[in-house]
């Protein structure tokens, strides 16, 4: 059984027991998280496809940790003008352990 959820403007394919990295969520580690934006649920017997969301479906999990990703360097320059700028960015993320996928009906 798996589901496709949407969080932070991105889509994730999740199964029970998976640990995924999503955009930073405002919660403390150990807190329960519920995703209501479920786009698709595939069970052994049936596939539920949302239009755009599956009615009555939800995915629950636990927030494992908060962290930052790898550094991405942003380098700007203009040739022949002695102009160079370097900036770094580390995107914040949350790790969520998926515990249960439920669908009504």
Q: Peptide bond before 52: cis, by omega within 30 degrees of 0? A: yes
pLDDT, tens only, 33-81: 999 999 999 999 999 999 999 999 999 999 999 999 999 999 999 999 9
pLDDT, tens only, 15-35: 999 999 999 999 999 999 999
- Determine if the pTM surpasses 0.95: no
Domain parsing of the chain, residue ranges: 2-64+96-102
104 has pLDDT over 90: no
Closest-CA residue to 60 (of 21, 97, 13, 10): 97
């Amino acid at each position: 059984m798996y589901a496709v959820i949407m969080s932070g403007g991105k889509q994730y394919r999740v199964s029970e027991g998976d640990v995924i990295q999503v955009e930073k969520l405002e919660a403390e580690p150990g807190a329960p998280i519920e995703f209501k934006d479920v786009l698709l649920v595939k069970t052994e017997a049936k596939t539920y496809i949302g239009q755009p969301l599956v009615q009555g479906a939800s995915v629950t999990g636990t927030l494992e940790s908060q962290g930052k990703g790898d550094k991405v360097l942003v380098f700007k320059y203009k040739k022949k003008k002695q102009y160079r700028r370097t900036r770094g960015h580390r995107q914040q993320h949350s790790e969520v352990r998926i515990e249960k996928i439920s669908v009504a009906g």
